[in-house]
Amino acid sequence: MRVVLHKIDECIGCDSCVEIAGTYFYLNADGRAELITQIPWKGPFEAAEVFREDVELVREAAHACPVQIINFKK
């Protein structure tokens, strides 16, 4: 598994990550994308584990993000 990081405070709510990887992202009541299942993480990011078979899907969502706030843990 890999860990995806998402900086929710900088999300503009464009919905591209939800459209591409809706099994990992949803739009919350504030209109910002949020990770559905989160793991504990320190800092400005929220984090989630990504199954190996979904890595490319989430990578596509990260690439589509216009503000580039979705990254994988290095």
How many domains in the chain? 1
CATH code, 30:
3.30.70.20
pLDDT at 72 over 70: yes
Look at residue 5 in the predicted model and tell me its pLDDT: 97
pTM of the model: 0.93
Q: What would the pLDDT profile of 4-57 be if each residue is shown by its tens digit? A: 999 999 999 999 999 999 999 999 999 999 999 999 999 999 999 999 999 999
pLDDT at 74 over 70: no
Distance CA 41, CA 3 (A): 10
56: nearest Cα among 27, 26, 20, 32 = 20
Look at residue 1 in the predicted model and tell me its pLDDT: 85
| Residue 52 lies in domain | 2-72
